[in-house]
Amino acid sequence: MSKVALTGLAAGVLLALSLPPWGFWPLAVAGIALFDRLIADQPVGARFCRGVLVGLALLGPSLSWMKDVTVPGYLVAVAVYGAMIGGAAAVCPPGRWRRLALPGAWLLSEAWRVSWPFGGVPLSTLALGQVQGPLAPVAGLGGVLVVGAAVVAIGVAVNAAVERAWKPAFLGTAAVALLLGAAAAAPHGRDTGTTLSAALVQGGGAQGTRDEDVDDRVVFERHLEASAAVPAGVDLTLWPEDVVDTDGYVVDAAEGDDLAELARRLRTTLVAGVVETEDDESFHNASVVWDRSGTVVDRYEKVQRVPFGEWVPFRGLLEPVAGDALPQRDAIVGRGPPVVVTPQGTLGVAISWEVFFGHRAREAVLHGAGALLNPTNGASFTGTIVQTQQVASSQLRAIETGRWAAQIAPTGFTAFITPDGRVLDRTGVSEQAVLVDDLALRTGLTPYTRLGDRPFIALGAALVAVAWLATLRSHRSQIDEEGDRSVVHQLDGHVGAEAAGGHGGAEVAEGVHDGVDERLSHRRGGGPDP
């Protein structure tokens, strides 16, 4: 295997190992430094191919959870998103100005990946590996895209230092230092003075379990059993996503009666994840709220659905080929803002997949959410890639919005997270457990909540554009210099030709030599001969 291929694979693997569940954040800096070295001074085709190689090595392992949803989809996603990283390399200019362009180009590639196709796949972004590192606070300033760009800037600065290019090394480091300073000085939200006691219920069970392999009632009763450990009088009792499965609306089902009774017995506001069958082709995925009297007072229905998990794009084209391998029903897209209004206050809800999208939590806070809830169900996935990246995403959403967050899962991970992204408590995989802690309701907006992603996407595009303008200007100056030297060379050739051609040429040559002799005489301090 060639040195280029080994370097590309090493860069991608280092980036992958910086992400959860492996999660050693400095490896991302090393991976980017190798990536920058790999594309330096290369033509556009080579930059693209080398970027694709890095992308495949990054995404192959870190998106392997997708095989539990769709193996063909996994292969296509790795190829398409790997090509996006190749595109980030290709749009950088080949020379020294690539160091300015690469952070912006990477930002643009991640912005593309988290939104397209089918709503995007916002996992395996660089920011997910940085929640335990010093760059995490930048999320409150500019979200995950700016965190990723900061990682790239540091990696590029490291490579510049290795190459003894001290000026770009200093400027890149200084830019990230300014980001950290701005993040520290920016508003982070503030407590309202209201603190809620909350119980997070994890019913337990084996990982890698699909819905068709388990009796829905067994899952429901497992969570009823776990709820026996919830202290009576707790303000909030939170159940995971889709652990309640009913034909028709839950208020008309036996499970609805059981949940109403649980809320009354515990004297608590209960928020439970419910899947309600609408018909043979569709269902609702909702978080439903019961107050202490057992009355349903609000609900939120999931908006951001999992492609090929909760809905099938191009179903009519794929069903004749894939058949029973596809989900038989599609989730109905919810309407309204991602909040529920409870007797204890307004709470943001990002159901499962939605927590990977910064704009969902941002919208919740803009609609008055004082805390964030992430009811989820990762029981169908083997391993812990999705679960650990989801905890990291909940941490990033907390930092971005300046809110407390609670993640609730049937088989793990369930966790409380502070507004600065610290995980206070977290369950293990498959255990039955109840976590009890306080959630302080907060108000105020962070810069990211105010601005969203668009200004930073524009900034990324501006970095690439400026780098190309500087490269073209430098190239044009070089051409002009070479053109001037070419004129001198042409003159020398012209003089020589005349001199060789006859009497007139000799006179010109003699005049030129006389002029040169005169200038030399002046430089030596003498005057012209009399």
Structure tokens at 385: 């890639």
Rounded to a whole number of angstroms, the distance between the first and last alpha carbons of the chain is 75
Q: Would you state the pLDDT for residue 530?
A: 30
Distance (Å, rounded) from C-alpha 91 to C-alpha 83?
12
Residues of the chain with pLDDT under 50: 487-530
Distance (Å, rounded) from C-alpha 391 to C-alpha 303?
20
Q: Would you state the pLDDT for residue 382?
A: 86
∠ CA 211-394-451, nearest 5°, is: 125
Task: Give the residue among 127, 144, 199 at the shortest CA–CA distance from 414.
Answer: 199
Cα distances (Å, whole numbers) of residue 404 to 129, 348, 401, 500, 506 = 20, 10, 9, 89, 91
Structure tokens at 66: 């997708």
Q: Would you state the pLDDT for residue 203?
A: 97
Cα distances (Å, whole numbers) of residue 105 to 80, 223, 263, 334, 397 = 16, 46, 51, 34, 23
Structure tokens at 349: 């809800």
Cα distances (Å, whole numbers) of residue 184 to 46, 181, 188, 420, 456 = 40, 5, 9, 11, 18
Q: Which architecture characterizes domain 190-451 according to CATH?
A: 4-Layer Sandwich (3.60)
Task: Give the residue among 289, 202, 224, 199 at the shortest CA–CA distance from 251.
Answer: 289
Residue 288, judged by CB atoms within 10 A of its CB (0-12, 13-18, 19+), counts as buried
| Amino acid sitting at position 447 | P
Could you tell me the residue ranges of all domains in the chain? Answer: 3-186, 190-451
What Rg value do the Cα atoms of the chain yield, rounded? 31
The DSSP annotation for 174-219 comes to HHHHHHHHHHHHS---EEEEEEEEEEEEE----SS--GGGS-HHHH
